[in-house]
Structure 1
Amino acid sequence: CLPAVSGQTVFGWKIAATNPTGQAHIGVDGPIGGRLLASQIIAAGGSASMQSNKMAVAEAEFAFRLAHALPPRDEPYSEAEVLAAIGSLHPAIELPDSRFADFATAGAAQLAADNACAHLFVLGDAVTADWRTLDLAAQPVKLIINDETVTTGQGADVLGSPLSAMTWLANQAALLGEGLQAGQVVTTGVCGSPCPIKADDHIVADFGALGRVSCRLTA
């Protein structure tokens, strides 16, 4: 498995293609889960290298950190059970990439083997507002590059809501016999559209009252 081969800890999980825009971007018709390794995590406000990144896009995403494990089991997890296991909500930026030069025609099976295009991930601070009382599906999100808003979206973009996407991943991980561990982070997919980026760009994912997170791109 990936942790054994890489010799790294699994920091968390990502979900690719949780909306039609994301699906069209990589040429699939449904979501794909992948793992985030410890070496792929960029500190909030930090620098992320664009070296060898062929996909060259940024995505604004809702991410959750688990307070309690969701181990494998036969019965699917409900959204209420998944919500109860979540410890915190975070604004996040994903900088995906693929080993396939023509990733849009690689196909779902190959992209799953490609770890769902996991590459670099920027995790913002935990949201301090009482987000559990909010309708995350209606929460507006925008991605800002070099002080210009380049895409807008909302939580409903990811399988109807970030919690729905999180529940999908919890059940996929259970089917794989792994489950999700306490402390792991799950990023739930792009809100709005994946947006082209280049070295020296300054990226901000703005979640309104829920906060924002940023990074600077280097060559």
Structure 2
Amino acid sequence: MRTVTYDHPLAARIAAAFDTVDVVSPEPGEIPTDLAGSERIVDAIAAKLGPIGAFKLGATIAQVRATLGLPKQFFGPIPQSRIFPDGGDVPAVVARQRGVESEYAFRLGRDLTAADADLDLPGLIAAIASVHPSIEVPGSRFSGLGAHGGFGLVADTGAVGSLVVGPGSPLGDPARLTDAPVILEIEGQDPVPGGGAVIDGGPIGPLLAFVKTALARGYALKAGQYIVSGSCTGYVDVPLGKRVTARFPALDAAVTMRFTDAA
């Protein structure tokens, strides 16, 4: 990623709290009043977090954007250190709020650079090496998710927490992801149904806009990084220690995790 010269006291405090359980309390006037201001804070934080392993897309559903008062989707950079393998335990320090979302994760097969500024959808599809079942764990450095409105949520790296990624398979026809269900199962509870159709344009629909925006903001999009679609099942709270399984019939695959109180 390019060197970021912009700095902001809120960005410094969020970055410092990222790998702790400290709660950040914004001072009056620190929360931006527009999306551009929030994005500048995200970029300043991202420059302090180390290698990026994935990008989470947020507000990829029109109703969510309306609720948050956001004019368009956003993204948050997920550090490589916050990506867990299938079956992994997610510790408390990276699970400030114990909730999960079921998402498709697209792994890039090549670097995307400034030369890809005019990339079209077929070109993007060709650049995707594989698609994976994943469970996103949102996490806010503030007192809670959405505690300071939509622009505050975006400024807090889009509430980046962690990501659990399952086995990959070739993308094939992206339409199959839109049409298929996604099922979230939490040990001891009824399954939560969902699907890719809730996302604008299906799971792959928000990716091209993300790529163009990220490149314009100076991010390096590298082979092996994941782009995560946005939630197919909504946000669901999970009791400590309970096994979570997200099933993706379109991929004939599933991904599992649980929360642990281990440091």
TM range (shorter): 0.7 to 0.9
Tell me how far apart the structure 2 counterparts of residues 93 and 24 of structure 1 sit (CA, whole Å): 24
Name the counterpart of 1:80.
122
Name the counterpart of 2:225.
184
1:37 aligns with 2:56: no
Tell me how far apart the structure 2 counterparts of residues 154 and 112 of structure 1 sit (CA, whole Å): 24
Aligned-residue RMSD, C-alpha: 2.4
Q: Which has the higher strand share?
A: 1
Equivalent residue letter for 1:94: E
Shift of 1:103: 3.4
Shift of 1:179: 4.5
Gaps of 5+ in 1: none
Contact 2:176 2:250 (8 Å CA) reproduced: no
Tell me how far apart the structure 1 counterparts of residues 133 and 200 of structure 2 sit (CA, whole Å): 17
Tell me: CA distance 1:153–1:64, structure 2 relative to 1, closer, same or farther (3 Å).
same
Identity over aligned pairs, percent: 28
1:69 aligns with 2:111: yes
Tell me how far apart the structure 2 counterparts of residues 52 and 4 of structure 1 sit (CA, whole Å): 19
Name the counterpart of 1:106.
148
Q: 1:135 aligns with which of 176, 187, 211?
A: 176
Q: 1:174 aligns with which of 189, 196, 215?
A: 215
Tell me: CA distance 1:21–1:45, structure 2 relative to 1, closer, same or farther (3 Å).
farther
Name the counterpart of 1:93.
135
Contact 1:73 1:174 (8 Å CA) reproduced: no
Shift of 1:13: 0.7
1:153 aligns with 2:194: yes
Shift of 1:135: 2.3
Name the counterpart of 2:88.
46
Q: 1:5 aligns with which of 48, 54, 64?
A: 48
CA distances 1:8-47 after superposition (whole Å, capped 9, x unpaired): 211121112222565578x344421010101111111111
Shift of 1:133: 6.5
Bigger radius of gyration: 2
Matched residues, number: 216
Shift of 1:75: 4.7
Segment drifting more, 178-187 vs 88-97: 178-187
Q: Which has the higher contact order (CA 8 A, sep 6+)?
A: 1
The TM-score normalised by the length of structure 2 is 0.74
Shift of 1:127: 2.2
1:208 aligns with 2:249: yes
Name the counterpart of 2:58.
16
Tell me: CA distance 1:2–1:51, structure 2 relative to 1, closer, same or farther (3 Å).
closer
CA distances 1:164-215 after superposition (whole Å, capped 9, x unpaired): 1221211221221225222211111100211111211110010014110001
CA distances 1:42-71 after superposition (whole Å, capped 9, x unpaired): 111111123574432110000000011222
- SS of the residue 1:162 aligns to: coil
- SS of the residue 2:107 aligns to: strand
- SS of the residue 1:136 aligns to: helix
Tell me how far apart the structure 2 counterparts of residues 107 and 183 of structure 1 sit (CA, whole Å): 33
Contact 2:182 2:233 (8 Å CA) reproduced: yes
CA distances 1:107-135 after superposition (whole Å, capped 9, x unpaired): 3332222111111110101126x633752
The TM-score normalised by the length of structure 1 is 0.87
Gaps of 5+ in 2: 1-43
